[in-house]
Amino acid sequence: MTQGPAGSDRPEGRDLHARLSAVTLDPETLPVASLDAAHDRQMAVHDLLEANVFALAGENPPGPYHLLMGGHERGFFLRISDEAGTHIRDFVLSVSPLRRIIKDYRMICETYYATIREASPSRIEAIDMGRRGLHNEGAAALRERLDGKITLDEETARRLFTLLAALHPRG
């Protein structure tokens, strides 16, 4: 699945080069997705591309970048290239430190979506606060894992965490 290029409605003052302009998911290394999971993946990629801050640390060419994501025995691989397709860097992202947060995040999301049909507004709000808290925790853990390698703003980290949660095998 490929998405790109990113939209042009960028916030004022953002470096238009420090971003992802395309994200591709490697079907060879990721588990086959159900229709719902495929939709979640597609929405996560769309949201990530809509607005993001993504820059490689160190002596690397400036973006915009293309990101290829796939499964790896320890988690995920991130292959970064420039817009012409020239390979720049690869990273392996272990999900071990994120596994509990991903599991809890998925569980509370399922509860939230099941609850919004029948629960009181105060119950929905309480569950949503927990969901946002876990989302923030996952984004912070992800930024910590990528520190010194990739610079992300908070919203990009949240969106990338959502994508990781959508890609991570269930169970």
**Would you write out the chain's pLDDT as a tens digit for each of its 171 residues?**
544 444 434 344 456 689 999 999 999 999 888 888 888 899 999 999 999 999 999 888 888 999 999 998 878 999 999 999 999 999 999 988 899 999 998 888 888 888 888 888 888 888 889 889 999 999 999 999 999 999 999 999 999 999 999 998 765
Can you give the pTM of this predicted structure? 0.84
CB 60 within 8 A of CB 88: yes
**The two structure tokens encoding residue 35:** 């229709």
Contact between 3 and 22 (Cβ < 8 Å): yes
d(C-alpha 58, C-alpha 61), whole Å? 9
Residue 125 CA from chain centroid, whole number? 24
Q: What is the dihedral of CA 95, 100, 106, 111, to 10 degrees?
A: 180
Return phi, psi of residue 140, to 5°. -65, -40
Cβ neighbours of residue 150 under 8 Å, at least 6 residues apart? Answer: 54, 55, 56, 57, 78, 91
The structural domains of the chain, with segments of one domain joined by +, span: 2-167
